[in-house]
Structure 1
């Protein structure tokens, strides 16, 4: 069972500490709530993935000899892996797309609303402040009526600027890199998709999740330096 990364030192721009702690406390308070199927809390984010293929066919393992891989490789460009994660349900879903535009984000949110959580009143999505993570993405992808419907079904909970570590899905991305991607050579987008979906299925079947333990009360003690000094 994974736990969130240890908080590291980082720099908050001058004048932004109040905004940082406000968004941080809102996010942490949402994590502390019990699961409500009508208002699920889902972390959503994406990461670039490099497609790297073999320059020459590797030699398979055989009795008395290890598998061998040539140092030459073929660059296949970049694609993007999206990951949605609901820790209180021990559930996640992944998508692999050639790009990470607003259009892809809108399609994924629509799938979450209509296929994964059709009975939810509102889907609360925890995400960072990337410019694609807004309701405007719905209007770029769908007609106005459909875009408005999606906007009404979603509540965005933004992590602070320079505080993406507060998005619980980052813990799952860490597990994905260590357990699935690593330094493996995956040269095609379909191969990458197949490997990630197999990893997701195994994690869901095992009921793997994240036990988030960092609370607002902890933040006010351990990150007290980030809170502005209040003067009369």
Structure 2
């Protein structure tokens, strides 16, 4: 349309239509959009996976979720990197009737923390440990952690294709622990890894509105949440 606007509002659309010599009010623009079920002020995003093995990997992961025998473990693993230990410079004002909590915008940075996470699909349980790095050696430590927590029965470990998950050390670990079978999600399909849902809950319930006096404080509160 030749207009330098990337997000339309009712008033902008009304102004543009009237510039075309059409006498239409903003309320009429709103009614027309509602009747046509059009929402120019909104957008939804998606990501196209370029993985040639998308369907086979997807189906493999779904079979684990739906068809694995009840006695087999299903563990999803991943790293939650860059968790910021932000401390609010001034305390919040508590909520009052008709008024939400008020928070000072300024904060103090105390660094970031990485959670090496695992999620037990059958129990709905998030667990793991914090680490300074999230390289292949640390990922092997996470696999050891899972193996220690589940010393009996066979199991499945679901992960993405991060380079730290596909090294020789990781391959050797699975060769040395044949009771665990690994399953890769397709590229750009993190929604198939259920730990992402657990990370989303952690972000919303602990991190998003938290105030942390140090990295240690953040770690303690994450561990308390995981129980």
In the superposition, the TM-score normalised over structure 2's length comes to 0.68
Question: Which of 2, 6, 9 lines up with 2:46 in the alignment?
Answer: 9
Alignment of 1:142-181 (within 5 A): 147=173, 150-181=176-207
1:77 is displaced (CA, Å) by 2.4
1:156 is displaced (CA, Å) by 1.4
Relative to structure 1, is the Cα distance of residues 59 and 81 closer, same or farther in structure 2, using a 3 angstrom cutoff?
same
1:41 is displaced (CA, Å) by 1.0
1:72 is displaced (CA, Å) by 2.9
Q: Tell me the distance in 1 between the aligned counterparts of 2:178 and 2:87.
A: 43
Larger Rg: 2
Consecutive unaligned residues of structure 1, counting only runs of 5 or more, are: 1-6, 202-232
1:177 is displaced (CA, Å) by 1.0
1:26 is displaced (CA, Å) by 0.5
Contact kept? 2:135, 2:164, Cα under 8 Å: yes
Pick 1 or 2: higher relative contact order, CA cutoff 8 A, min separation 6: 1
Alignment of 1:162-201 (within 5 A): 162-201=188-227
Q: Which residue of 2 aligns with 1:127?
A: 159
Contact kept? 2:49, 2:186, Cα under 8 Å: no
Over aligned residues, Cα RMSD in angstroms? 3.1
Q: Tell me the distance in 2 between the aligned counterparts of 1:68 and 1:178.
A: 18
Q: Tell me the distance in 1 between the aligned counterparts of 2:175 and 2:46.
A: 40
1:29 is displaced (CA, Å) by 0.8
For residues 107-131 of structure 1, the C-alpha deviation after alignment (integer angstroms, 9 at most, x for no partner) is 11101102x111124x311011111
Q: Which residue of 2 aligns with 1:106?
A: 140
Relative to structure 1, is the Cα distance of residues 120 and 8 closer, same or farther in structure 2, using a 3 angstrom cutoff?
farther
Partner SS for 2:210? coil
Relative to structure 1, is the Cα distance of residues 62 and 44 closer, same or farther in structure 2, using a 3 angstrom cutoff?
closer
Aligned residue-pair number: 182
The answer to whether structure 1 residue 44 and structure 2 residue 70 are counterparts is no
Consecutive unaligned residues of structure 2, counting only runs of 5 or more, are: 1-43
Q: Tell me the distance in 1 between the aligned counterparts of 2:96 and 2:209.
A: 25
Q: Tell me the distance in 1 between the aligned counterparts of 2:220 and 2:122.
A: 26
Alignment of 1:65-84 (within 5 A): 70-84=104-118
Relative to structure 1, is the Cα distance of residues 165 and 59 closer, same or farther in structure 2, using a 3 angstrom cutoff?
closer
In the superposition, the TM-score normalised over structure 1's length comes to 0.66
